[in-house]
Chains A and B, each alone.
Chain A
C-alpha cells in the first residue's frame, strides 16, 4: 500500500519541481518577519487554547487548558489520612523519573556516596530520552565554542531563556559529552577520528553528536545498564503522586503510587529531584504527540501543588515534522537532522515556502500557515492535512536514517524515492518548574531537571539541547543535593495539599477531578458509558 491515488497529482508536481528546488535559495526570515509569522500562526498564540490559573503561585498566568485542568485538580490521596511517621523508604536522594535526567541524577548522587532511590512510572528507560533520534548538542569541535552555542540557544529561545542557566548548559556541554563517551556510548566518528557532527535548525555550527539515528536509545541503554551495574535501587510502575514538605516548607520526600498493587509508599528524603518529563500525552490543543505513554505532567502538578513556581508554561514546542501518513504513525517524529541534511518542505503544488533550517517554532508556524491559511496542504483520504518532506534529496537516506527508512518500509513507502507527509506534532514543553543553574526549584530541597524544568530553553528549544539539558541539570541537581543530605529537618507534613485543595473547593471545582492523571485516557466513550 504505497501512497493513495489522491496523492498522485501532488507527487507528480513534487517530482517535477525537484531540480528547480535544488538550485533555489530561500532567504532566512528577519527577526520581525519571524515574530509576525509566529504570532499569527503558532498554536501558543491561539487565545482559545489558553486559560488563566486560578490557584497557586502562578495564579493569573496563562497556561494551556489541558494543564490548567490537571493543575486545578485534587490529590489522588487523602492528605490527612496518610501516615508520614512510618516511611516505607528513607534515603538521601529520591529521584523521580527513569529517563536520561533521572538516570544522570541517580548515577551522580550515587557516585558522590549518597543513598539513592529512583522511582519511575513505566520501566527504567521508558522515556522521551530514548526516542531522541538526532543527537545531543555539545560545543566540543575546535571551530565551535560555548559562546556560539550560548548565542544560538538564547536567540533561538527569543531571548526569553534565563541566561545564567543557559550559561551552565553550554559550559557543561563538553564535560557531559566526555562523561557519556567514557561510559561507553557508541558515538559516530568520521574516518579522520573526529566526532561526527550534524547540523540542525537554529544552530550556527554543526554540533549535534549522534549515534546513528538512535542517539537517545543508545545513551539510555548505557545509562540503564550502568544503574544496574552499580545496583542503584529503582522502583518501576511507581510514579510520585505528591511532594512531602516539612513545617519550614522544605522538601522532605514524596508519596509514590504502586500502579500494580494500588498502594502508596511514603519516601522520606533530604532531597527530591524531579526528572519526570512533560505534558505531551495530555494532547495540548488536541495535537498528536511524539511523546511516550507516561508524559502526563505529573512532576509539574505535584511540584506546583507543593508551591514551586512555574515559568513559561504557556510555551509548547510543536515539532514541524511529525508523520501524517500512514495514519498508524500519526504524530511520530521525523528527526530534525533530516532538515539539516537538505530535505525540502514542499506544498501541494511542489513549491518550497520556508528555509528549512529555521528554528522549530518558525518552521511549524510556516507549515500551519501553508496548510490553514494558504490552503496549500496535501489532504489525505481521511481529511488530515500535511506538507511533503522531500527525503529523496538525502543521499544514502536508507543508510543514514535506517530507523525511519525501516518504519516506512513496513507501509510500502520507500523514502529514498518518495517523500514523507508531515505536519507539526506536540513535541516538547518549553517551560516548567523554574530552576536555578543548580537545578533548584523555588522549594528548598526540591530540584528539577529536563523537560519538567523551565528557564533553560526559553520559549523555543533548539534541537539537541534537550538531551544536553537533562544530563547537565540531572548532574547539577545531584551535586547540589549533596549539600543537603546531612541537614536536619522538622516534622513532615501534607498541609500544603490540604491548603491547596481548600482553595479549589472555594472555587467550586468538582472534587472528583484528581491528578496527576498518570496515564492518558484513550478509552472510547462507547465503552465508558457501559462502565456503570
Chain B
C-alpha cells in the first residue's frame, strides 16, 4: 500500500495514496463522478483540472486521468466552460479563409499574451495557431492544433475572450475539405461497388463450407510490412 498524502479537493482535505492520478485520488476519496470523467485515457477532455501547489504562485493544469497528484495540491476539475461555436455549412463555403474570419472575427483581438499556450495540457502552441488563423494559414492551424482534445482550458484563460479550440475545429475541417485531394481511386471503387462488382465473388465464398473457406483463407496472399 502506498503512503497516504494530503491533497485538497475543491479546498477540502483528503488523504490519498501517493503516486495516484488525480482521478484515482478523487475516487479513492469516495467521489462517484458523473461529470468530469470520460474516456479515462487522455483523449476526451472531460477532466481538465486546474490546481496550485504551496510555494508556487502559478496556476497549473492537467487532465485528471493523466496527471499524478502532488502533496498539498489544491485542485478543481472544470467539467464544462461556456463556449460559443459558429454554425456553418462546409459544403457551401466558397472562400475558406474568409469564412473562418467571418465566423470568428474575435481572433483579431488576440493580445498575444500566450495564456492559452501556457495552460494547454496537450502542450499545443495555441497562440501560434491563432496567429496562423489571422494570417489565413489554415494548414498551420490544422497541424499545430491537431492534438487538441477541446477541454476548454484555453477558453477559460483567453484575455480576448475567444474560444480558440472552436476556431481550430473549423480551420481543420476547412483545411481538410479544401486542400487535401481525395485520390480518384476512392470514387472509382464506390462506382465499382454500385455497379455490383465484388458481390458475386463474395456470394460465392458465402456458399462454401468452412473447410473450403479455411483453405482459401490460409492460401491468401499477405502483403509485407
Residue of A181, A260, A333 touching B182 (CB-CB under 8 A): A181
Interface with A: B48-56, B70-78, B111-119, B146-154, which one?
Answer: B146-154
In the bound assembly, the distance between CA atoms of A229 and B93 in angstroms comes to: 13
17 further A-B contacts with Cβ under 8 Å, apart from A155-B220, A292-B39, A519-B34, are A30-B218, A131-B41, A139-B189, A151-B216, A167-B202, A174-B189, A174-B193, A199-B225, A204-B221, A204-B222, A225-B169, A228-B87, A292-B41, A293-B33, A328-B20, A410-B68, A523-B27
Residue in B closest to A226 when the chains form the complex, CB atoms: B90
Contact B46 A130 (CB under 8 A): no
- Establish whether residues A193 and B37, one from each chain, have CB atoms under 8 Å apart when the complex forms: no
**Distance A402 CA – B35 CA, assembled complex (angstroms):** 28
Q: Which single residue of chain A is at the shortest CB-CB distance from B185?
A: A142
Establish whether residues B193 and A183, one from each chain, have CB atoms under 8 Å apart when the complex forms: no
Asked if A204 contacts B193 (CB within 8 A), the reply is no
Whether the pair B42, A407 counts as a contact (CB closer than 8 A) is yes
Within 8 A of B (CB), among A136-186: 139-142, 145-148, 150-152, 154-155, 159, 163-164, 167, 170-171, 174-175, 177-178, 181-186
Asked if B88 and A229 make an inter-chain contact with CB atoms under 8 angstroms apart, the answer reads: yes
| Inter-chain contact A130/B190, CB cutoff 8 Å | no
CB-CB < 8 A to B193: which residues of A?
Answer: 146, 171, 174-175
B126 contacts partner chain A, Cβ-Cβ < 8 Å: no
Which residues of B are found within 8 Å of A216, using beta-carbon distances? Answer: 43
Q: Are B147 and A403 in contact (CB under 8 A)?
A: yes
A217 interface contact, C-beta 8 A: yes
Q: Quick check: B176 and A185 within 8 Å, CB to CB?
A: yes
What are 12 pairs between A and B in contact, CB < 8 Å? A130-B44, A146-B193, A146-B198, A146-B202, A150-B205, A170-B198, A182-B177, A186-B176, A221-B148, A225-B85, A292-B40, A293-B33
Please measure, in the bound complex, the distance between the C-alpha atom of A522 and the C-alpha atom of B34, giving whole angstroms.
12
Q: Assuming A123-B46, A159-B210, A225-B169, is B180 touching A187 (CB within 8 A)?
A: yes
Contact A217 B43 (CB under 8 A): yes
Tell me, yes or no, whether A443 is within 8 Å of chain B by CB: no
Per-position binary interface string of chain B over residues 147-167, scored 1 when its CB falls under 8 Å from any chain A CB and 0 otherwise: 111100000000000000000
**Residues of B participating in the A interface, judged by any CB pair closer than 8 Å:** 19-21, 24, 27-28, 30, 32-35, 37-44, 46, 66, 68, 85, 87-90, 123, 142, 146-150, 169-170, 172-177, 180-183, 185-187, 189-190, 193, 198-199, 201-203, 205-206, 210, 213-214, 216-218, 220-223, 225
Q: Judge if A332 is at the interface, Cβ distance under 8 Å.
A: yes
Contact, CB under 8 Å: B46 / A122: yes
Tell me the complex Cα distance, A150–B208, Å.
Answer: 14
For residue A205, CB closer than 8 A to chain B, the reply is yes
Residues of chain A whose beta carbon lies under 8 Å from any beta carbon of chain B: 30-31, 122-123, 125-128, 130-131, 139-142, 145-148, 150-152, 154-155, 159, 163-164, 167, 170-171, 174-175, 177-178, 181-187, 189, 193-195, 199, 204-206, 212, 214, 216-218, 221-222, 225-226, 228-229, 231, 237, 259-260, 290, 292-293, 327-328, 332-333, 340-342, 357, 402-403, 406-407, 410, 519, 521-524, 527
Given A146, A177, A222, A229, which contacts B186 in the complex, CB threshold below 8 Å?
Answer: A177
Q: Given A140-B185, A193-B183, A523-B30, do A212 and B174 touch, yes or no (CB 8 Å)?
A: no
| Distance (whole angstroms) from the CB of A277 to the closest CB of chain B | 12
Please, how many angstroms separate the alpha-carbon atoms of A527 and B16 in the complex?
13
Across the interface, name the chain A residue whose C-beta is closest to B28.
A524
Minimum CB–CB distance for A194 against chain B, Å: 6
Q: Are the CB atoms of B34 and A260 closer together than 8 Å? A: yes
In Å, the complex CA distance between A154 and B182 comes to 29
Residues of chain B within 8 A of A145, CB atoms compared: 189, 198
